[in-house]
């Protein structure tokens, strides 16, 4: 979809900001450019829509050299959003979003429909916001309008330069989540520039790590965390990269649905004791007839009330002790550490026990990366 071929950028003052970039951005994916400040992320991105000229090499857009398109035409089919947002303060929200459609000569009814559609998409009520001016919006709302504007004419490609940079961390997380949701629907080919590694891991289908105008490593977030190519990348992704990797994996990918230590609430105490020993765990989960998690039972409890399971068990709210299958492995780990569990139940939203996840499984996953790296050396 977008391909950098030996791209070099030399500025008039002689400074070479990009020194031979080779990279292929895949269709329908978010490719994140990341690296230390001044490494050439913005420069590389701005050559795609020819806001900067290319000194050597070329960039293919949809298979054609981007110099073959007239610059304005090229830019109109590439959405563009920047950190400073750059909304036109003298235009209403509607007029801002309508910029590219109007340049393309759409008729007004179609434009109005499109604007309302986009405002809905980015979570702003069209009737309330359409006629407002940028200064009447909060920073987060402006950022949303900026994204809507970039999507204005439904461009197949988007360039986003730290689009959530100027926003407080909480709002940024919300916008990231929302944008991932939107991307699921629209499936654009996106170059996303950031210098926040957590954002890169969260947003990127692929991450390109740049350093001094060169591509250091280009891979999926998981592979970059698991197999950082060299010391620079390792330092860049941070010493907590094992934990970060756990953040990429969802609980349902790791959970065990077969060997779950569970007993029914009407079962006998002996049955419970047997399950605990069989699974070699400290406690077993107790579920009711509907399969809803009600608590757990351990050997101590059985020793105190050897007659009835109901007396022996410790009742607990499934919200308290269970994790959901869409939580990340990192969240599961955090829950286990907080409650000093070695195994934690996985429940659905009405509390039914779906399976379990063990501390061991999480450890194994986190260690994979370190193990490989020791093997490869560097």
Partner 1 sequence: MNRIAMLGGLIAGLGFFFLPILNLKPNRLASGTSFNLLEFQGDDRYLMLFLLALIPIVLSFRNDAESRGWMLVGSGSLLFLLTLILPAGAGANLLLDPEAYLGEGAFIRNPRILPSGGMVLGLLGAYVTIFAGVRDLARAEVQMWVQAIATWVAPLIAIGLLVNGSFDVYSILVEFYANGAALEQKFVEHLMFVFISLGVGFVVGVGLGLWASRDERVAPVILYAVGIIQTIPSLALFGVLLVPLARLGDRAFLPTLGFFGVSLAIALVIGVSYVLLADREPARLKIVHLLATAITATVPLALFVGVFVSFLFRLANVGFTSGAYDSTTTTIFGLLAAALVTWIVGRWFVKPDGFLRTWLRRANWLLSGATTVAVIVLFVQAAGNSRVLGTVDSVSTLTIRDLGVSGIGVAPALIALTLYSLLPLVRNTYAGLNNVDPAIIDSGRGMGMTPSQRFFQIELPLAFPVIMAGVRNAGVALVGIGTVATVIGAGGLGDFVIQGIVNTSIDQILLGAIPAIALALVLDATLRGLEGIFTSPGIKQVQS
Ligand X SMILES: Nc1ncnc2c1ncn2[C@@H]1O[C@H](COP(=O)(O)OP(=O)(O)OP(=O)(O)O)[C@@H](O)[C@H]1O
CB distance 34 to 41 below 8 Å:
yes
User: Per CB under 8 A, does 147 bind partner 1?
Assistant: no
Q: Which stretch binds partner 1 (CB under 8 A): 76-84, 112-120, 201-209, 277-285?
A: 76-84
Residue 77: phi, psi to the nearest 5? -105, 10
Quick one: tokens of 125?
Answer: 């009520």
Quick one: tokens of 325?
Answer: 């299958």
DSSP state of 135: G
* Cα–Cα dist 288/198, whole Å: 40
Q: How far from 138 is each of 90, 164, 171, CA to CA, in Å?
A: 16, 13, 11
**Chain centroid, CA 337 distance in Å:** 24
Q: Which stretch binds partner 1 (CB under 8 A): 83-91, 118-126, 310-318, 354-362?
A: 83-91
**Number of residues near partner 1 (by CB under 8 A):** 28
Residue 341: phi, psi to the nearest 5? -95, 155
Which among ligand X, Mg ion, partner 1, none contacts residue 140 (Cβ within 5 to 8 A by kind)?
none
* Cα–Cα dist 234/374, whole Å: 13
Which among Mg ion, partner 1, ligand X, none contacts residue 358 (Cβ within 5 to 8 A by kind)?
none
Residue 195: phi, psi to the nearest 5? -120, 20
Which among Mg ion, ligand X, partner 1, none contacts residue 157 (Cβ within 5 to 8 A by kind)?
none
User: Per CB under 8 A, does 17 bind partner 1?
Assistant: no
Binding letters toward ligand X, positions 289-308, x by CB under 6 A: --------------------
Q: How far is the CB of 184 from ligand X (least distance, A)?
A: 27
CB atoms within 10 A of CB 178: 15
Determine which residue in the list 3, 41, 93, 183 makes contact with ligand X, applying CB under 6 A. 41
- Over its C-alpha atoms, the chain yields an Rg (Å, rounded) of 26
Q: How far is the CB of 41 from Mg ion (least distance, A)?
A: 5
Which among ligand X, Mg ion, partner 1, none contacts residue 39 (Cβ within 5 to 8 A by kind)?
ligand X
Binding letters toward ligand X, positions 199-238, x by CB under 6 A: ----------------------------------------
Binding letters toward partner 1, positions 109-138, x by CB under 8 A: ------------------------xxx---
User: Per CB under 6 A, does 42 bind ligand X?
Assistant: yes
Angle at alpha carbon of residue 197, lines to 191 and 201, rounded to 5°: 65
Q: Which stretch binds Mg ion (CB under 5 A): 3-11, 24-32, 34-42, 259-267?
A: 34-42
Q: How far is the CB of 198 from partner 1 (least distance, A)?
A: 25
CB distance 345 to 293 below 8 Å:
yes
Q: How far from 353 is each of 218, 265, 288, 299, CA to CA, in Å?
A: 40, 13, 10, 21
Residue 347: phi, psi to the nearest 5? -125, 160
The H-or-E segment that residue 131 falls in is none
Q: Which is nearer to ligand X, 42 or 217 (CB)?
A: 42
Q: Which is nearer to partner 1, 67 or 324 (CB)?
A: 67
Determine which residue in the list 8, 60, 103, 174 makes contact with partner 1, applying CB under 8 A. 103
User: Per CB under 5 A, does 42 bind Mg ion?
Assistant: yes
Q: How far is the CB of 191 from Mg ion (least distance, A)?
A: 12
* Cα–Cα dist 140/288, whole Å: 45
Determine which residue in the list 21, 29, 43, 79 makes contact with ligand X, applying CB under 6 A. 43
CB atoms within 10 A of CB 142: 20
Q: How far is the CB of 356 from ligand X (least distance, A)?
A: 43
Segments of 26-55 assigned E as strands: 30-34
* Cα–Cα dist 364/5, whole Å: 39
| Binding to ligand X in span 17-36, by CB under 6 A | 17
| Binding to ligand X in span 151-180, by CB under 6 A | none
Residue 335: phi, psi to the nearest 5? -65, -40
- Which residues sit at the interface with Mg ion, rule CB under 5 A? 42
- Which residues sit at the interface with ligand X, rule CB under 6 A? 11, 13, 15, 17, 37-43, 195
- Which residues sit at the interface with partner 1, rule CB under 8 A? 49, 51, 71-76, 80, 82, 84-92, 99-100, 103, 133-135, 149, 152, 159
């Amino acid at each position: 979809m977008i391909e950098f071929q030996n791209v070099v950028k030399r500025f008039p003052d002689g400074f070479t900001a990009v020194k031979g970039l080779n990279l292929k951005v895949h269709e329908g994916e978010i490719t994140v450019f990341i690296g230390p400040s001044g490494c050439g992320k913005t420069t590389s991105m701005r050559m795609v829509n020819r806001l900067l000229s290319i000194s050597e090499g070329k960039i293919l857009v949809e298979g054609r050299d981007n110099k073959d398109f007239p610059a304005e035409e090229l830019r109109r089919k590439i959405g563009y959003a920047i950190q400073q947002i750059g909304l036109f303060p003298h235009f209403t929200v509607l007029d801002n979003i309508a910029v590219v459609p109007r340049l393309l000569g759409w008729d007004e009814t179609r434009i109005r429909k499109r604007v309302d559609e986009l405002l809905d998409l980015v979570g702003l009520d069209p009737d309330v916001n359409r006629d407002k001016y940028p200064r009447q919006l909060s920073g987060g709302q402006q950022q949303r309008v900026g994204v809507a504007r970039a999507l204005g004419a439904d461009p197949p490609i988007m360039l986003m330069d730290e689009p959530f940079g100027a926003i407080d961390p909480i709002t940024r997380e919300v916008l990231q989540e929302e944008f991932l949701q939107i991307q699921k629907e629209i499936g654009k080919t996106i170059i996303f520039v950031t210098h926040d590694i957590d954002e890169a891991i969260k947003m990127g289908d692929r991450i390109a790590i740049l350093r001094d105008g060169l591509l250091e490593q280009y891979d999926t977030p998981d592979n970059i965390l698991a197999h950082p190519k060299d010391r620079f990348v390792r330092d860049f992704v941070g010493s907590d990269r094992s934990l970060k990797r756990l953040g990429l994996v969802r609980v349902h990918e790791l959970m065990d649905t077969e060997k779950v230590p569970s007993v029914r609430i009407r079962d006998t105490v002996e049955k419970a004791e047997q399950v605990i020993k069989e699974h070699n765990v400290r406690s077993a989960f107790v579920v009711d007839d509907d399969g809803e998690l009600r608590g757990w039972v351990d050997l101590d409890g059985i020793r105190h009330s050897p007659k009835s399971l109901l007396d022996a068990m410790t009742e607990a709210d499934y919200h308290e002790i269970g994790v959901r299958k869409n939580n990340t492995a990192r969240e599961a780990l955090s829950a286990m550490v907080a409650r000093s569990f070695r195994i934690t139940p996985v429940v659905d939203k009405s509390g039914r026990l779906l399976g379990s996840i063990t501390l061991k499984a999480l450890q194994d996953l986190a260690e994979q990366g370190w193990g490989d790296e020791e093997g490869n050396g560097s």
